[in-house]
Amino acid sequence: MSNLRILLIVIAASTAAAFGLSCTKHESQQQTPGKLRIVSLAPNVTEILFALDLGDQIVGVTDRCNYPPAAKKIKRISGFGTPNVEKLLVLGPDMVIACGLEKPEFTEVLRQSGILVVNVQPTGFMASFPELFGAVGQIGEATGRSTAAKKLIADMQAELNAIAARGDRIDDAQRPRVFVEIEESPLMTAGAGSFLDDLIRRAGGRNVAHEISTAYPRIDPEKVIAWNPDVILVAHSDHPGEAAERLARHIGWSDVAAVRERRIIDDIDADLLFRPGPRLVDGVKALAARLYSK
């Protein structure tokens, strides 16, 4: 997997500092709710906008915005974190929802052009469901869809609560111990403070790398042998079903419980695990179903 892809994965689900919304466009002005022309600069933002029934108001997206299918029909104006200012300005948007990866001069150009910039990921990262709920709420407020945002958050929270209620009946010591392989070489996993760490816990598992404070550390393969996880979640596979044989060829890994018992999960859509949007709840449900499929 390329370094670019690793970066995109980490961006989508990595650790965050404080989460908030910042606007530029004569900071004291309020955006009047109504028919806005919106540009989304992140795939998760695009999914949130569609979930808030604002899809018909999106006039520009990134080349990574692939869901829902209707998003693929919207004008592509940038890569993820590398917006093309000229293409964006031609669209004449009222609002640009940014992801914190854009260069400061980009935001300044938009401000001087009279465009409202809503930055829902000031550092470019999110690390937990509360931060996701914050993004949904703040996008809803900025676009005049606060009621819809509150309902979306409530629906997501209800689904998470239902999953948690089932997991609460399982003693912590009985929860499967999960190792996440984000990248094979060098070996990268998800530590504390990562979205995957939060997702695994909510799905009823225990992340063996939770002891590592770095959100997305590179580790020695010997560490996995020492952890001896019950389940291995391969979060980057382009060929589902092939990971088990590959992992068994790693020196010493054939005795790891997950490899020996072939409890390898490599067929969950990576966007359900890494993209902090409404479908992340589906990722929790999918993982929970696989962890307790026995």
Whether residues 105 and 51 fall in one domain:
yes
Whether residues 193 and 256 fall in one domain:
yes
Query: Considering the entire predicted model, what is its pTM?
Result: 0.84
Structural domain range at position 30: 11-146
Could you say which of 146, 178, 202 is where a domain stops? 146
Whether residues 178 and 134 fall in one domain:
no
Residue 199 lies in a domain: yes
Per-residue H/E/C for the chain: CCHHHHHHHHHHHCCCCCCCCEEECCCCCCCCCCCCCEEECCHHHHHHHHHCCCHHHEEEEECCCCCCHHHHHCCEEEECCEECHHHHHHCCCCEEEECCCCCHHHHHHHHHCCCEEEECCCCCCCCCHHHHHHHHHHHHHHHCCHHHHHHHHHHHHHHHHHHHHHHCCCCHHHCCEEEEECECCCCECCCCCCHHHHHHHHCCCEEHHHHCCCCCCECCHHHHHHHCCCEEEECCCCCCCCHHHHHHCCCCHHHCHHHHCCCEECCCCHHHHHCCCCCHHHHHHHHHHHHCCC
Per-residue tens of pLDDT for the chain, all 294 residues = 444 443 443 333 332 333 333 444 333 234 445 589 999 999 999 999 999 999 999 999 999 999 999 999 999 997 777 788 899 999 999 999 988 767 778 888 898 899 999 988 755 567 789 999 999 999 999 999 999 999 999 999 999 999 988 777 788 888 999 999 999 989 999 999 898 999 999 999 999 999 999 999 999 999 999 999 999 999 887 678 889 899 999 999 999 999 999 999 999 999 999 899 999 999 999 999 999 875
Whether residues 86 and 212 fall in one domain:
no
pLDDT computed for residue 14 by the predictor: 35
